[in-house]
Amino acid sequence: MKKILTLALVILIGASALTTDAYAKRFGGGKSFGKQREQVTQPAGPRAASPAPAATPAGGRSWLGPVAGLVAGGLLASMFMGGGFDGFKMFDFLLIAALAFGAYMLFRKFRSAQPQAQPPMQFAGLNQPAYMPPASGAAPVASPSTRPEWFEDEPFLRGAKSNFIRLQEAYDRADLNDIREFTTPEVFAEIRMQIEERGSAKNKTDVVQLNAVMADVVTEAGQVIASVRFTGLLREEAGAEAQPFDEVWHIQKSAADRNAAWFVSGIQQIQ
């Protein structure tokens, strides 16, 4: 019975360590959801370079969760049962390791079976060849712009960068009231679900570098939609290397009221 209880502690704590790591994500979880737009006419600047990752043994990162579970399980077993691992033989330790690895593989299978985000859409104009005029020589017909005359890029981008950082912090704190003020109901529902899924797991997002450019501004279906392309470096785990990101936030307001509030209506990943 003593060995069975010890094995159970090892497996449960190992799975807990893996689950905590799985939910360490930035605002939106690095997924595409909400409003998605295929037409973005202005390309963004160059992406931030990724720092060289620290050298690690092959497969080392994937074993961090199971190894941590083994160590923590052994310590707790020693504390609660008094005898530690007295009487254990090499076969017993191999059995513990095999069970912990089995739990880890089951966890990975469970995660992979969950619905994944839709593949990011490719934005028109970002990777397209240069425009070639028609062979007939006829002049191309310009499409009428739906960009509001009053819209100014620089003030909007300053506010967008500030709100990007604010929403990262609110997401880490699980501050749903603050997030609700800046998001449409659809986006808020997705963010609330992500926060509920991570439970009590701690989340910390460090914005190491942040760039923002206007990708497009249009008026559609009574809404002014400003698409901002954010790039830079984020650290989603304490002590980890900052990683590059590249995503577009679609931010909208009522076209009927120039003073209406802006809301994040979608996040779209760039690849």
Domain membership of residue 128 (yes or no) is no
pLDDT category at 200 given cuts 50, 70, 90 is: confident
In a domain, 129, yes or no: no
Greater confidence, 115 or 84? Answer: 84
- Express as a percent the part of the chain with pLDDT over 90: 44
Q: 140-155, pLDDT tens digit by residue?
A: 544 567 999 999 999 9
137 domain residue, yes or no: no
| Full residue range of the structural domain in which residue 213 is found | 2-43+61-112+145-269
Q: Does the residue 52 lie in any domain?
A: no
Predicted confidence band of residue 95 (pLDDT cuts 50, 70, 90): low
Residues 34 and 250: beta-carbon distance below 8 Å: yes
Decide: 222 and 248 in contact? Cβ < 8 Å: no
Above 50 in pLDDT, residue 99? yes
Q: Is 50 helix (H, G, I), strand (E, B) or coil?
A: coil
Residue keyed to tokens 């449409």: 184
Indicate whether 80 belongs to any domain. Answer: yes
Q: What is the pLDDT of residue 70?
A: 47
Q: Is residue 126 part of a domain?
A: no
Handedness of CA 131, 137, 139, 141 (dihedral sign): negative
Rounded CA separation 72/190 (Å):
34
Confidence of residue 219 (pLDDT cuts 50, 70, 90): very high
Residue 64: which pLDDT band, with cuts at 50, 70 and 90? very low
pLDDT in tens, 66-86: 445 544 555 445 544 555 555
Task: Report yes or no on 119 lying in a domain.
Answer: no
Q: How many domains does the chain have?
A: 1
In a domain, 195, yes or no: yes
Residue 11's nearest CA partner among 62, 81, 77 is 77
Q: Which residue has the tokens 């009221």?
A: 257
> pLDDT for 181-190, tens place per residue?
999 999 999 9
Provide Rg for the chain, Cα atoms. Answer: 24
- β-sheet bridge partners, residue 100: none
Say what the pTM is: 0.58
For all residues of the chain together, what is the average pLDDT? 73
